[in-house]
Amino acid sequence: MVSKFVFGNPIRTKAVIEEIAPADFSIMNPLLKFSEDKSSFTIDLLPDDSIYGLGESLHGMNKRGFIYVSNNTDQVHHDENQYSLYGSHNFVLLNRFKGLKLGLFVDYPAKTTFDIGFTDKDVMKVSVEEPDYTLYVVEGDSALSIITEFRKIIGKSYKAPLWGFGYGQSRWGYKCTEDILKVVEEHKRLNLPLDSVYMDIDYMQDYAVFTINPERYHYFEDFVKKMKEEHIHLVPAIDPAVKRLKGYFVYDEGVENNYFCKDEEGNDFPVAVWPGLAHLPDFFKPEVKKWFGQKYKLFTDVGIDGFWNDMNEPAIFYSSKSIKAAADKLATLKDKTETLNLSELWDYLDTASGLANNAEDYKSFYHEIDGKKVRHDRVHNLYAFNMVEGISKEFKEIAPDKEILFFSRSSYVGQHRYSGIWTGDNSSYYSHIKLILSQLPGLNMNGFLYVGADTGGFAFNVSEPLLMRFMQISMFTPLFRNHCALGCRDQEIYNFKDIDSFRNMLNLRYALIPELYRIYNDCIENSKLMFTPLALAYPDDRACLDVDDQLMLGDDYMIVPVYEANATGRYVYLPEDMTAYVLKSDKDYKTVNMEKGYHHIDIALNELVIFVKKGKELKLSKPANNTALL
Amino acid sequence: MVSKFVFGNPIRTKAVIEEIAPADFSIMNPLLKFSEDKSSFTIDLLPDDSIYGLGESLHGMNKRGFIYVSNNTDQVHHDENQYSLYGSHNFVLLNRFKGLKLGLFVDYPAKTTFDIGFTDKDVMKVSVEEPDYTLYVVEGDSALSIITEFRKIIGKSYKAPLWGFGYGQSRWGYKCTEDILKVVEEHKRLNLPLDSVYMDIDYMQDYAVFTINPERYHYFEDFVKKMKEEHIHLVPAIDPAVKRLKGYFVYDEGVENNYFCKDEEGNDFPVAVWPGLAHLPDFFKPEVKKWFGQKYKLFTDVGIDGFWNDMNEPAIFYSSKSIKAAADKLATLKDKTETLNLSELWDYLDTASGLANNAEDYKSFYHEIDGKKVRHDRVHNLYAFNMVEGISKEFKEIAPDKEILFFSRSSYVGQHRYSGIWTGDNSSYYSHIKLILSQLPGLNMNGFLYVGADTGGFAFNVSEPLLMRFMQISMFTPLFRNHCALGCRDQEIYNFKDIDSFRNMLNLRYALIPELYRIYNDCIENSKLMFTPLALAYPDDRACLDVDDQLMLGDDYMIVPVYEANATGRYVYLPEDMTAYVLKSDKDYKTVNMEKGYHHIDIALNELVIFVKKGKELKLSKPANNTALL
């Protein structure tokens, strides 16, 4: 049962699409204790209470023990001290062992804080900036039925085309079509499956959105066609900010039609992103959504059928306002170099390092929502939502017969109806293998089914074994994209030594795709989790509460990725008798029947293990080098 | 057998104290393949080869799969992408399963790089900046005998007084004696054991070394005496840099006698650290060692008998030279705010963020070594060594009857004869519990036995369960100090809820101290490891190779800390039949006999588990609230 409680005057978010009549506060579950102004509530936690949800957030599957702040942030450091990542996914589930289960969705588009047993180990505290929000309380018999009920009120998830499950190669730094061609040819030469190559910001002319560099990406239409003949999809990145340049068509149209976010005085607010100074489209205005979405026709008309929206938190390197203030301040350092004290030094350093994604900038520009001026920070977490929603709608018009692959970096609940997401700029860290494992169930709970992390890690250099272990988790996620940052070690498979093992893993992926796609579709249609924590799948088994590094996949499988350097095996807990498939490839594998309980299992670097419930079997199809050939 | 190979003209380091005649290169172990100029060598690795050592470094106990750079660095971010920490501990051990064991010590005081199967997963490559170094190759029948042989040539480790094993409370931010008094009184009120309170930089007058703020730390001598009566040792931090201030005795003496490091022209080189602009004593000169060491008399005379040397990499916030260049550059930003391109932006930001510990600064000042001018970067990793060696020598003169507790942040091999170290500025991260576990055996191999990490984590906020789990690893390390940074959440035990459990853990520590101190002394006397990886203790057991999160403690015990949030148990591998002591306190515990093999064991948040070999028992003494009462 879903109860909807409205506090103050919330800004409408469109996260929930089912019409639900507001309930009277008197029927609020007494477990929730509210502050007087209703801007926060607490729940007392029992020792065995675990909390799930919060989608793209840090730490383990069980969110207890940390603080999380929903505040969409371009955050390249996914370290234990960070509170915010790219998305805001405010559904949490209280899982009381052999007791109450409770779903809570805090529908609020500004900063929302979940202190889950951090400040006080026995208390969860949820707070918003201003008491204008809608709280959905979902009650039910089981955690999974509560999740399904919540998923139903937020609507069906976006469905990606089958080729979106193929292997994709990406990097920031493919300077020209020749670089892309090399990727395709090397995969072909080494008989490595491939479905897509991603084009990062490099393809644009001076990073101006909806342009293509005519010298480095020449004969683009022909190139797209040529790639299509080889069943390779090119997937360009699209950023929201529009370069400030007179004569550039997108800029001119935006200025002329008042499409950009304004400062307090009503002038277009200049922010710097990749193209230098730029303006942010005000995606809260219907006409802006339409205008920006229609621009994708420039790509769909030449055969492009996949896009990723990057930088749409929106990320801001600096604003004209903030850099002027910083420059003025930094200029004063000259007179102080001999007398500087430490607080002044930190202040100077903070001035520089604080330019990007500065809270003050987010308070300095405005949207027009239903004719009213609304300061950005009040609706910050909805920026990407509105961008994606708008584009998705236009896809139906500009490419009515096409299934478009579409995913975003930033997100809010509800956006799952229009796109997938990837988990942003992770790093080439072993701990980030575990991180994606931890994020998957929370993302699914919040509606996001087409998800994946940068395989191999975005930032920093990868090693060959790390890339291999990363592949063995990406193996199971709908999006499977090897992506890394400019300046990092070449991360394409063909730069490493044991190509046979990489090929075996990719073949396994392609042999799994039909089954993964079936599960994915089932989860869309029936509002289910593709990835389920064992604690929710086996609610009466106390041992499952501690299992934070295994996941149920669909109804029949359990995955147990290896995420430690040099490990040649790992521990697993079996909540029931299962069969271990120990796979070197789709052809070379053995099965071992294992009993419910704790085990240690060997998993060599070139092996993947999938557990299958008794009486079920692992459905492997014949692999191919491309989903079109499956 | 130790073979010593001398390449080029190495700078003498004093790491090795045994006289060993250089061997001819023709007898070099053929496993090592040298580059032509001998500035690097490689070793081909087999799949099951593991590498141990490198002391204070990141990643697991088995160092394979990453790059490590010995380059003493004030590095607050102990993340997976970092190469250098505070110490340089260049002894590594190649452990070939059921095969060759080989110890290598690269005695070289500048940057030394260990690429251990990172760039090429099957190759370890060691390289130095210039081919002037000494390589010790230690061969033997077993890993442990090789380690003992290496430890013997580097000399016996520093022995801390018993009270150095007591619980210490520290924080950056105890502003005055009242703050310290509160710590002592709260521990007393709650019946919590305590042996020491640490004084961070706050106690000084304007951060000038060897001063005491007369207002906030008034009647200091009386205060020390009063604390001593309660068996509380006050342990001040001493930094190397001397505030540039005419009339300040340390500065005046330093200038007058040419005690400070010089720039190329021979002027005292100004660097900024806590006291603002300051000069670095040139500890490579014997007279400077003596002078600085004698200054400790100001403290020992009033009853202080413990010190920690901080910031002695040396950490440099900026130099006069670098900040002037930075200020000039940053001043130009004013003219560019409208036209800035991204590479210019990054350049400005790097200018600010690159001020601290800048490689150029380390190339801009000089030491005098045996009458010769030597650029700092060529001997960088020896700076702390010389500081500590000098002070240690003076202790014998200024406090001949006292056992001084003495540890340092930065270090080089050989320094272990004079002091302990702590592992620097870690964070309140669960992963940093595992980090200290990983560092312990490598530190021991490199001679450092008196070691410990900041319990609870230095940077960022701690949670109560995290502090508890941190205590359960610090429980076993000689240094057990709760320490945290200014601005972080209060981390003293009395700020949390379950005081009984904290008290139980502290009582356990004190009940263990006699046994820990016995083991510690045995390891000093017999050049043994206090903490041994299972792979080295059980070399024929393949399963032990994968055990990267358990350690043998002394000869009879095995420790298995919990380092995952919300975990109420963990997996363990028993290399032989053992008894598990599951301890809530020194009085409330049970024992369980367990067989060799893989197990899962319950370990609640308020429990500690110690495994004891069959036929042995856990030696618990009667606890006390202070080591003086043991």
B148: its two tokens: 């003992």
Residue from A330, A338, A342 whose CB has the most chain B CBs within 10 Å, to mutate: A330
Calpha distance B540→B538 (Å, rounded): 6
The partner residue sitting opposite B330, judged by closest CB among A330, A460, A548, is A330
Calpha distance A378→B198 (Å, rounded): 45
Measure CA A541 to chain center.
31
Binned at pLDDT 50, 70 and 90, residue A451 comes out as very high
Q: Which residues on chain B are in Cβ contact (under 8 Å) with A336? A: 327
Cis-peptide, bond into residue B314, ω within 30° of zero:
yes
SS3 content of chain B, % helix, strand, coil (to 5): 30, 25, 45
B463: its two tokens: 């949670």
C-beta of residue B618 within 8 angstroms of C-beta of residue B508: no
The pLDDT, as a whole number, for residue B398 is 98
Q: Assess: ipTM above 0.90.
A: yes
- What's the pLDDT tens digit per position in A559-600? 999 999 999 999 999 999 999 999 999 999 999 999 999 999
B565/A277 CB distance under 8 A: no
Q: Which residues on chain B are in Cβ contact (under 8 Å) with A122? A: 497
B211: its two tokens: 């001063």
The pLDDT, as a whole number, for residue B123 is 98
A327/B341 CB distance under 8 A: no
Cis-peptide, bond into residue A314, ω within 30° of zero:
yes
Calpha distance B488→B480 (Å, rounded): 19
A90: its two tokens: 């405010």
B6: buried, middle or exposed (CB in 10 Å: 19+, 13-18, 0-12)?
A: middle
Q: What one-character-per-residue DSSP string does B108-119 give?
A: -SS-EEEEESSS
The partner residue sitting opposite B349, judged by closest CB among A334, A348, A352, is A352
What CA–CA distances, in Å, run from B130 to B7, B86, B110, B371, B522? 10, 22, 9, 22, 39
Give this prediction's pTM: 0.98
The partner residue sitting opposite A571, judged by closest CB among B317, B348, B571, is B571
Q: What one-character-per-residue DSSP string does B367-396 give?
A: EEETTEEEEGGGSGGGHHHHHHHHHHHHHH
Residue from B64, B113, B333 whose CB has the most chain A CBs within 10 Å, to mutate: B333
Question: Given CB atoms, is A343 within the 8 Å cutoff of chain B?
Answer: no
Question: Given CB atoms, is B573 within the 8 Å cutoff of chain A?
Answer: yes
**B488: nearest Cα among B76, B184, B195:** B76
- Distance between A317 CA and the closest CA of chain B, angstroms: 9
**A342: nearest Cα among B238, B496, B241:** B241
Question: Given CB atoms, is A44 within the 8 Å cutoff of chain B?
Answer: no
Q: Which residues on chain A are in Cβ contact (under 8 Å) with B544? A: none
A324/B337 CB distance under 8 A: yes
The pLDDT, as a whole number, for residue B364 is 98
Q: Which residues on chain B are in Cβ contact (under 8 Å) with A327? A: 333-334, 336-337
The partner residue sitting opposite A600, judged by closest CB among B331, B349, B598, is B598
Question: Given CB atoms, is B62 within the 8 Å cutoff of chain A?
Answer: yes
Q: Which residues on chain B are in Cβ contact (under 8 Å) with A466? A: 65
The pLDDT, as a whole number, for residue A231 is 98
The pLDDT, as a whole number, for residue A454 is 98
3-class secondary structure, A357? coil
Q: What one-character-per-residue DSSP string does A236-291 give?
A: EEE-S-EE--TT-HHHHHHHHTT-B-B-TTSSBPEEEETTEEEE-B-TTSHHHHHH
Q: Which residues on chain A are in Cβ contact (under 8 Å) with B464? A: 121
Binned at pLDDT 50, 70 and 90, residue A440 comes out as very high
Strands A167-169 and A420-422: unpaired
Binned at pLDDT 50, 70 and 90, residue A244 comes out as very high
The pLDDT, as a whole number, for residue B297 is 98
What CA–CA distances, in Å, run from B221 to B215, B228, B234, B308? 13, 11, 11, 19
Calpha distance A592→B17 (Å, rounded): 56
Question: Given CB atoms, is A318 within the 8 Å cutoff of chain B?
Answer: yes
- Distance between A503 CA and the closest CA of chain B, angstroms: 18
- The tokens 């008034």 sit on which residue? B218
- How many beta carbons lie within 10 A of that of residue B18, not counting itself? 10
Binned at pLDDT 50, 70 and 90, residue A281 comes out as very high
The pLDDT, as a whole number, for residue B264 is 97
B65/A340 CB distance under 8 A: no
B81/A466 CB distance under 8 A: no
B498-503: list long-range contacts, CB under 8 Å, 24+ apart: B498/B464, B498/B468, B498/B606, B499/B190, B499/B192, B501/B468, B501/B584, B501/B605, B501/B606, B502/B192, B502/B468, B502/B471, B503/B190, B503/B191, B503/B192, B503/B193
- Distance between B461 CA and the closest CA of chain A, angstroms: 8
The pLDDT, as a whole number, for residue A505 is 98
- Distance between B483 CA and the closest CA of chain A, angstroms: 17
From chain A residues 81-110, the ones with a CB under 8 A of any chain B CB are 81
Residue from B79, B330, B542 whose CB has the most chain A CBs within 10 Å, to mutate: B330
The pLDDT, as a whole number, for residue B183 is 98
**A581: nearest Cα among A593, A569, A595, A571:** A593
The pLDDT, as a whole number, for residue B334 is 94
Measure CA A300 to chain center.
24
Q: Which helix (H) or strand (E) segment is A368 a member of?
A: strand A366-369
Calpha distance B355→B359 (Å, rounded): 9
A118/B341 CB distance under 8 A: no
Q: What one-character-per-residue DSSP string does B69-113 give?
A: EE---------TT----SEE--EEEEE-TTS-EEEEEEE-SS-EE
The pLDDT, as a whole number, for residue B304 is 98
**A52: nearest Cα among A157, A155, A158, A147:** A147
The overall average pLDDT reported for chain A is: 97
The amino acid that residue B338 corresponds to is E
Closest residue of chain A to B352, computed from CA coordinates? A349
Q: CA angle at residue A618 from A612 to A619, to 5 degrees?
A: 150
Closest residue of chain A to B66, computed from CA coordinates? A463
Burial B417-446 (b: 16+ CB within 10 A, else e): bbbbbbbbbbbbbbbbbbbbbbbbbbbbbb
Closest residue of chain A to B547, computed from CA coordinates? A567
Beta bridge partners of A583: A589, A608
Calpha distance B90→B67 (Å, rounded): 13
- What's the pLDDT tens digit per position in B408-451? 999 999 999 999 999 999 999 999 999 999 999 999 999 999 99
The partner residue sitting opposite B497, judged by closest CB among A121, A333, A338, is A121
- Distance between B341 CA and the closest CA of chain A, angstroms: 6
The partner residue sitting opposite B276, judged by closest CB among A60, A272, A341, is A341
The pLDDT, as a whole number, for residue B324 is 95
Closest residue of chain A to B206, computed from CA coordinates? A341
The pLDDT, as a whole number, for residue B488 is 97
From chain A residues 448-507, the ones with a CB under 8 A of any chain B CB are 459-461, 463-466, 497
Closest residue of chain A to B324, computed from CA coordinates? A337
Listed in order, strand segments (DSSP E) in A418-568 are 420-422, 451-452, 454-455, 480-482, 531-532, 551-553, 557-559
3-class secondary structure, A58? coil
Closest residue of chain B to A47, computed from CA coordinates? B566
B571/A341 CB distance under 8 A: no
From chain A residues 202-261, the ones with a CB under 8 A of any chain B CB are none
- What's the pLDDT tens digit per position in B292-324? 999 999 999 999 999 999 999 999 999 999 999
A548/B566 CB distance under 8 A: yes
Closest residue of chain A to B356, computed from CA coordinates? A349
Calpha distance A484→A455 (Å, rounded): 8
The pLDDT, as a whole number, for residue B536 is 98
- Distance between B570 CA and the closest CA of chain A, angstroms: 9
C-beta of residue B231 within 8 angstroms of C-beta of residue B628: yes
- Distance between B16 CA and the closest CA of chain A, angstroms: 32
C-beta of residue A304 within 8 angstroms of C-beta of residue A353: no
What CA–CA distances, in Å, run from B178 to B66, B186, B199? 46, 12, 12
Mean pLDDT value of segment A405-427: 98
What CA–CA distances, in Å, run from A326 to A280, A454, B551? 21, 34, 51
Residue from B52, B245, B566 whose CB has the most chain A CBs within 10 Å, to mutate: B566
Q: Which residues on chain A are in Cβ contact (under 8 Å) with B461? A: 118
Which segments in chain B show pLDDT lower than 50? Answer: none
A566: left (phi over 0), alpha (psi -120 to 50) or beta: left
- What's the pLDDT tens digit per position in A150-200? 999 999 999 999 999 999 999 999 999 999 999 999 999 999 999 999 999
Mean pLDDT value of segment A195-216: 97
Q: Which residues on chain A are in Cβ contact (under 8 Å) with B350? A: none
B173: left (phi over 0), alpha (psi -120 to 50) or beta: left
A431/B429 CB distance under 8 A: no
The amino acid that residue A97 corresponds to is F
Residue from B67, B80, B243, B318 whose CB has the most chain A CBs within 10 Å, to mutate: B80
